Structure 1
Amino acid sequence: MNNAIRHTWLVSVGLFVVLFAALSLIQVALTEELNSHPNNVRQVYQDRGAPRGAITVDGTAIAESVPSEGTNFDYQRVYHDPFLYSGITGFYSIAAESTGLENSMNDYLTGQSDSQFFDRITSLFTGETLEGAQVELTLDPELQQLAYDTIPDGTRGSIIVSEVGTGEIKAMASKPSYDTNLLAVHSTTQFQENIDALSEEDGLSAYRFRPVYDTIAPGSTFKLIDLVAMLDSGDFDADTVMDNPSEIELPQSNRTLSNFFGGICDQQSEADLHFITAQSCNTPFAETAMDMGQEPIREAAEAFGWNQSIDFPLTVSPSQFPEVGSDAELAYASIGQASVTSTPLQMNMVAMAIANGGTLMQPTLIESVRAADLQVIERSEPEVFGEPISEDVAEELTELMQGPVESGTAWRGQSDRFDIAAKTGTAQIGDDSNLVHSWITGFAPADDPQYAVTVVYERIDYDYGSSLTAPNMRTMLEAVIEE
């Protein structure tokens, strides 16, 4: 009798082990294969209608999943203040691949990250619905609202505000924008109708967030990179006097390059680097670039992030400083034209590094990730991206960058609360429209930098763009820096 009981017990244990092994194999080893199988319609409905974790700003959800009624899906993704955050959150849809943080933070939002393994095991045995993690952003909601409101309707504008000592993004707004709820629908037909309607708006794409996607000519803001190469060489300082002709003929070319016609640069045929930077004179930078060659400038640019991909965790289009084929092309590249391009975020990173004494912090949008019970899974810590310049060069650049605001091209950005360091830029588009890209990037307070701001207007009238960039920068800096 005891043997029969023993055998029965051993068989029961063996069957339990086999069952557990099979269950583990299905739930762990084969999960991805089974979930992705095209005939697994049940899994599609489960995934698309699952309760994704919320994306929050200052503790308030800007994207969350709510119970859905009258559909085959249990939950509906809902976005709050979507025009402010559409490019950052992106959208989650059953009809297309998700974008923005909905894509890059998907493993956390669905509960599938490595750090949520035990949550998955627990839900497997309890039968409870697996809830995704909450992603808290570094954004300041009031600053984000101000940045969005500061950009005039009808323009293609971007504003970025970052904390120079941590790399945290405090505001990142862009226009035109759109309502992400239009693309979170459960009908593929409705999705296509809505995405087609959005694509008809001039300058708008639901798949492109200007601050991190658009790589455009940076114009004279790129002269900050020239200055880095020049100061690093040891042959230049702020008091160095240089030739400043109104126009130069470019070698092996029938092209010329000139200073701004009728501008203050024409008042001095020779000038020191203070004046040249403040007034953004083109010809001294172009001649110096041709004398130095392209390598020092490319090395300086790449130290800040050019020619490489960056994730924070949105994927950033690589800014480009490609090989140039002639001195004429190099001359134009040195003033942020020709084949040189930059995202607004990349130029903000330049300002951040200079403001932070030469140390460039990794930009980040993520403050923390919390499980459904609000227990912290991950918390972002400041991380160094690189050391593109020395502290001495950063100090010299800060001194030079105060000139444009005090008496130069960024004079509209003057504040009565603190000194601002900045560099403006105007990039010719090269078509028949006479429109330009209008830039400014800078930081404050100049004597104790805390925040960097970059403002960009694409394809805008020169006078209108110039009237917006510096005042916008001042507005954001005065809002973020406490009295």
Structure 2
Amino acid sequence: MTKELRRLTIIMLLMFLALFGSTSVIQVVQADSLAQNQNNKRAMYDSFDVQRGSIIASGSAIAYSTPSKDVYSWQRQYVDPLMWAPVTGYYNPVLQSRTGIEKALNQQLSGTGSSQFLTRVEQIVTGQPARGSNVMLSLDAKVQKAAYEALGKLRGAVIAIQPKTGRILAMVSSPGFDPNILAAHNANAVNAAYDKLNADPTHPLYNRAIGGDLDPPGSTFKLVTVSAALASGQFTPQSKLPNPVRYTLPGTTTSISNDTRTTCGPGKDVTIADALRLSCNIPMAELAVKVGGDAIRAEAEKYGFNTSFDLPLPSTPSSYPPPTDSAQTALTGFGQGKVTATALQMAMVSAGIANGGVVMKPRMVDEVVGPDLSVQEKFDNAEYGRALDPALNAELVRMMVANVSDGVATNARIDGVAVAGKTGTAQNGDNNPFSLWFTGFAPAEDPQVAVAVVVENGGGVGQSGSGNSIAAPIVKKVMEAVLGK
């Protein structure tokens, strides 16, 4: 072989390798980003011919595709739409709009994800019709139904988590919407329906379990304040705090009181355990100032505050802002001031305490399964971090159990089950309705579920309701569904 021919051969080989490499990058590495590109019209039109995969909970499809007689080939259908809307969202090929799991796992459902490359090749070779993959949720249909029915027409959210794994068992938001209406192929009708929902002042399109306009967590945040106090090594459940009728916020002339407008039980002092059991504001404000805003913020972040979680639905971060002064720190000690939270966040607080102080990353998908029933993706459990050492965490568990058995959280009691919990009745200004909360877990000795409920607009009774009277019974019903009671 002459030198020129050898050189030409090497050049051709290098060009072939470059072409092969670039093609592989485009088809494999860049496949996901290219498929999502809104300018990729070919991917959009190809998707019309693909039977989109189903979204499955407890073995049954809650979202699936049926043949349609228009250019879009397939029509998306949703089962028990109002109950599942915060989870599934909706998919509309006409407007190329999608929300919820339909958006978060669009590539898997449409069969265009990188993990489905070999499946697509097989379908082409064998001549099989293109199909998307099925998404298997962690949510339990029985628990979801119990949460949905328990919340009823109240405005708010319910979320239930498996403490040891972070698997979400229920996610309910009310008021809701019917995704079938927004999945229709009549663009004018869909746009009109969307505009009406979007203009609704109750915001039915919000997923209140993980986002929306966040509420102050009220007294449920006292769990974080006490956790920070225990973690500091300077306090125990029996540490005592002053017990006045009113308390003036440091550096101000503003005073606060307990909900009872009296002292926190008898005596000039009160223990941290009794202050938590009786849900008193003044001792927790005093404790927060002693612990310090920086320490409380650090502890809050160990439970997930100031972080967005990919469930794969993105959650709005709950907020504990940098402390500005001792007065603000005092207010956050009992969940007021500038601290805000989602139901997901307060469920994570309870789940972390239930799990021996270890907070798990929340997730709502178990697997992605191909049309041939092969598992294409698995979503594993993962730790977020440790919030509290086991021995100190056990003390916090005992205090939460006392809240339910002998405190102000009695409406969460379940016969024969030790329930751990904390109420919250959060203020939203002098004359506005309260936000009503409850978070807890059961059974206390072997936790199977952690639940958080937030009821907005005072549960319809203004400032007359409480977390124990309205939110706690909802949590009880969800726990009973998990425990088979």
Aligned residue in 2 for 1:148? 148
- Matched AA of 1:111: G
Aligned residue in 2 for 1:51? 51
Aligned residue in 1 for 2:465? 464
Aligned residue in 2 for 1:85? 84
Question: Offset at 1:96?
Answer: 5.1
Aligned residue in 2 for 1:375? 374
- Matched AA of 1:463: S
- Matched AA of 1:372: P
1:349 and 1:299 mapped to 2: Cα distance? 16
- Matched AA of 2:140: D
Which digits, 9 at most, give the CA deviation of each residue in 1:426-481, with x for residues without a partner? 11111633x01110100111222221111110121343343221122122212211
Question: Offset at 1:192?
Answer: 0.8
How many residues align structurally?
462
Which digits, 9 at most, give the CA deviation of each residue in 1:263-301, with x for residues without a partner? 672544311122111111111111122222211101100
- Matched AA of 1:141: A
The residue correspondences of 1:249-328 to structure 2 (distance < 5 A) are 249-262=248-261, 265=264, 267-328=266-327
2:355 and 2:51 mapped to 1: Cα distance? 41
The DSSP-based 3-state class of the residue aligned with 2:373 is coil
Structure 1 window deviating more from structure 2 (422-431 vs 465-474): it is: 465-474
2:169 and 2:328 mapped to 1: Cα distance? 37
- Cα 1:257–1:24 shift into 2, 3 Å: same
1:39 and 1:88 mapped to 2: Cα distance? 27
Correspondence 1:129 to 2:121: no
Which of the numbers 439, 442, 446 marks the counterpart of 2:440? 442
- Cα 1:449–1:43 shift into 2, 3 Å: closer
2:175 and 2:216 mapped to 1: Cα distance? 20
Aligned residue in 2 for 1:192? 191
The DSSP-based 3-state class of the residue aligned with 2:97 is coil
1:137 and 1:211 mapped to 2: Cα distance? 17
Question: Offset at 1:247?
Answer: 1.2
2:35 and 2:315 mapped to 1: Cα distance? 32
TM-score w.r.t. length of structure 2: 0.89
TM-score w.r.t. length of structure 1: 0.89
Question: Offset at 1:47?
Answer: 2.4
- Cα 1:23–1:189 shift into 2, 3 Å: farther
The residue correspondences of 1:26-425 to structure 2 (distance < 5 A) are 28=27, 36=37, 38=39, 40=41, 43-48=43-48, 50-69=50-69, 71-93=70-92, 94-95=94-95, 97-153=97-153, 155-206=154-205, 208-214=206-212, 215-262=214-261, 265=264, 267-425=266-424
- Matched AA of 1:440: F
The residue correspondences of 1:420-435 to structure 2 (distance < 5 A) are 420-430=419-429, 432-433=431-432, 435=433
2:225 and 2:187 mapped to 1: Cα distance? 50
Aligned residue in 1 for 2:5? none
**Are the aligned partners of 2:243 and 2:263 in contact in 1 as well (CA < 8 Å)?**
no
- Matched AA of 2:208: R
The DSSP-based 3-state class of the residue aligned with 1:377 is strand
Which digits, 9 at most, give the CA deviation of each residue in 1:318-341, with x for residues without a partner? 011111211111111121111111
Question: Offset at 1:201?
Answer: 4.0
Which digits, 9 at most, give the CA deviation of each residue in 1:328-380, with x for residues without a partner? 11111121111111110011011011011111122111121100111111233
The DSSP-based 3-state class of the residue aligned with 1:236 is coil
Question: Offset at 1:39?
Answer: 8.8
1:115 and 1:202 mapped to 2: Cα distance? 41
1:291 and 1:177 mapped to 2: Cα distance? 43
Question: Offset at 1:126?
Answer: 4.3
**Unpaired runs of at least 5, structure 1:** 1-13
- Matched AA of 2:62: I
Question: Offset at 1:261?
Answer: 3.6
The DSSP-based 3-state class of the residue aligned with 1:369 is strand
**Unpaired runs of at least 5, structure 2:** 1-12
1:250 and 1:279 mapped to 2: Cα distance? 21
- Cα 1:268–1:455 shift into 2, 3 Å: farther
Structure 1 window deviating more from structure 2 (392-401 vs 255-264): it is: 255-264
1:403 and 1:241 mapped to 2: Cα distance? 18
**Are the aligned partners of 1:246 and 1:269 in contact in 2 as well (CA < 8 Å)?**
no
- Cα 1:254–1:75 shift into 2, 3 Å: same
Structure 1 window deviating more from structure 2 (461-470 vs 279-288): it is: 461-470
Aligned residue in 2 for 1:3? none
- Cα 1:325–1:91 shift into 2, 3 Å: same
Question: Offset at 1:120?
Answer: 2.0
Which digits, 9 at most, give the CA deviation of each residue in 1:162-182, with x for residues without a partner? 111111111111211111001
Structure 1 window deviating more from structure 2 (232-241 vs 350-359): it is: 232-241
- Matched AA of 2:63: A
- Matched AA of 1:107: Q
Q: Taking every aligned residue pair, what percent have the same amino acid on both sides?
A: 35
Question: Offset at 1:26?
Answer: 12
Aligned residue in 2 for 1:481? 483
Which digits, 9 at most, give the CA deviation of each residue in 1:175-200, with x for residues without a partner? 11111001001222111111122235
Question: Offset at 1:253?
Answer: 1.7
**Are the aligned partners of 2:35 and 2:107 in contact in 1 as well (CA < 8 Å)?**
no
**Are the aligned partners of 1:115 and 1:377 in contact in 2 as well (CA < 8 Å)?**
yes
Which digits, 9 at most, give the CA deviation of each residue in 1:66-111, with x for residues without a partner? 1111x21111111111111101111111325311111111121111
RMSD: 2.6
Question: Offset at 1:35?
Answer: 8.6
Which digits, 9 at most, give the CA deviation of each residue in 1:226-252, with x for residues without a partner? 111110112211222221212111222
1:72 and 1:23 mapped to 2: Cα distance? 34
**Are the aligned partners of 1:355 and 1:443 in contact in 2 as well (CA < 8 Å)?**
yes
**Are the aligned partners of 1:240 and 1:272 in contact in 2 as well (CA < 8 Å)?**
yes
Which digits, 9 at most, give the CA deviation of each residue in 1:85-142, with x for residues without a partner? 1011111113253111111111211112221111122334445432111001111111
- Matched AA of 2:271: D
Aligned residue in 2 for 1:10? none
**Are the aligned partners of 2:232 and 2:291 in contact in 1 as well (CA < 8 Å)?**
no
